[in-house]
C-alpha cells in the first residue's frame, strides 16, 4: 500500500492577525507555522493505515524550502518519505495551479491512496484534492470523517446532519479529510531526532498561469463593546444579574 498525504504550511495565528503594510498577506514576523488542522488528521490517518496494512507513506507540500519543517514534523510522527515541490511564492498559486503541480509530481509514483485536507485553514478554497483526482482520473470523496481499507477498496464515511453517508470506492482513490476522523498524535523525541536524517526529495515544476489573483486582504468589521463584570468569584452576583437581564434564567 502506497499512501500520499498532501499538506500546506500556514501561519499558526493564535489570537489575532496582523496584515503586512501592503494588505496582501498575513504578517508572519514572529509567527510560527503549522499545517492546517484537517491535514494534521490526514497525516495521522496515513500513518494509521500503514501501521495496519503495511507499505509506505509520503508527505508532500508545495511551498518554500522552509516548509521542510512541516514535512519533518510529519516524518517525526511516522510518515516514511517526503516531497517538497518548491514554490517560494506558493501563496500566489491558485488551487488549479497547485493541483496541476501535485498531479504532475505524483502521477509517475503510483499511489494507491491520496489524502488531502478538506480545505486549507488559510485560503479555504475546497478544491485541490478534487482537482488532483480529476487530473489523475481517480474517484474522490470529500469531507470524510472515517476511512477503512478492505481488499483493495476504501470505505469512507461522511457526516451529515442526520447521520452518516457511507461510500465504497475502488483504489486508487483520493479522499479529502476532515478533522474529527482521528486524534493526531504528537511526535516522539526519538521520532523528531530520526526525522532530521530522512532526506526530502525536492521537485521543481513550472508555475501554471493563474486564474485567480489576490488583490487584497482585509479584516471584517467586529462590533462588540466589552463590559467587565468583575474579578474572581465576587463577580458572581453581577453575572447572575446579567444572565437574568439576558433571559438566560
Contacts of residue 84, defined as CB under 8 A and 6 or more positions apart, other chains included, come to 60, 61, 63, 65, 67, 68, 71, 200, 201, 202, 203
Residue 85 Cβ vs other proteins, minimum distance, rounded to whole Å: 19
* Contact predicate 246/229, CB 8 Å: no
Nearer residue to other proteins within complex by CB, 41 or 75: 41
* Contact predicate 77/24, CB 8 Å: no
Q: Are strands 56-63 and 81-86 parallel, antiparallel or unpaired?
A: parallel
Report the site for other proteins in 21-50 (rule: CB under 8 A).
Answer: 26, 37-38
Q: Return the residue of 7, 58, 131, 195 that touches other proteins, per CB under 8 A.
A: 131
Residue 171 Cβ vs other proteins, minimum distance, rounded to whole Å: 12
Length, in residues, of the chain: 249
- Reported as type and span, the H/E element at residue 49 is helix 37-53
How open is the CA angle 172-173-176, to the nearest 5 degrees?
150
Report the site for other proteins in 138-167 (rule: CB under 8 A).
Answer: 139-143, 157, 162-167
Stretch that binds other proteins, among 62-70, 77-85, 127-135, 195-203 (CB under 8 A): 127-135
Q: Return the residue of 29, 108, 190, 227 that touches other proteins, per CB under 8 A.
A: 227
Stretch that binds other proteins, among 52-60, 76-84, 191-199, 209-217 (CB under 8 A): 209-217
Report the site for other proteins in 176-205 (rule: CB under 8 A).
Answer: 178-180, 183-184
Amino acid at each position: 500500500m502506497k499512501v500520499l498525504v498532501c499538506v500546506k504550511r500556514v501561519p499558526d495565528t493564535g489570537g489575532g492577525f496582523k496584515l503586512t503594510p501592503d494588505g496582501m498577506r498575513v504578517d508572519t514576523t514572529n509567527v510560527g507555522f503549522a499545517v492546517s488542522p484537517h491535514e494534521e488528521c490526514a497525516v495521522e490517518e496515513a500513518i494509521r493505515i500503514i501501521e495496519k496494512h503495511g507499505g509506505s507513506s509520503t508527505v508532500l507540500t508545495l511551498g518554500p524550502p522552509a516548509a521542510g519543517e512541516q514535512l519533518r514534523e510529519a516524518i517525526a510522527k511516522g510518515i516514511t518519505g517526503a516531497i517538497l515541490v518548491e514554490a517560494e511564492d506558493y501563496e500566489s498559486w491558485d488551487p488549479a495551479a497547485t493541483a496541476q503541480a501535485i498531479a504532475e509530481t505524483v502521477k509517475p509514483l503510483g499511489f494507491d491512496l491520496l489524502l488531502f485536507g478538506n480545505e486549507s485553514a488559510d485560503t479555504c478554497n475546497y478544491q485541490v484534492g478534487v482537482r488532483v483526482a480529476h487530473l489523475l482520473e481517480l474517484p474522490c470523496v470529500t469531507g470524510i470523517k472515517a476511512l477503512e481499507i478492505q481488499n483493495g477498496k476504501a470505505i469512507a464515511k461522511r457526516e451529515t446532519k442526520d447521520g452518516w453517508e457511507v461510500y465504497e470506492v475502488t483504489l486508487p482513490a483520493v479522499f479529502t479529510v476532515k478533522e474529527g476522523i482521528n486524534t493526531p498524535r504528537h511526535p516522539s523525541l526519538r521520532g523528531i531526532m530520526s526525522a532530521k536524517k530522512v532526506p526530502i526529495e525536492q521537485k521543481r515544476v513550472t508555475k501554471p498561469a493563474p486564474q485567480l489573483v489576490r488583490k487584497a486582504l482585509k479584516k471584517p468589521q467586529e462590533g462588540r463593546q466589552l463590559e467587565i463584570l468583575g474579578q474572581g468569584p465576587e463577580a458572581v452576583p453581577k453575572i447572575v444579574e446579567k444572565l437574568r437581564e439576558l433571559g438566560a434564567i
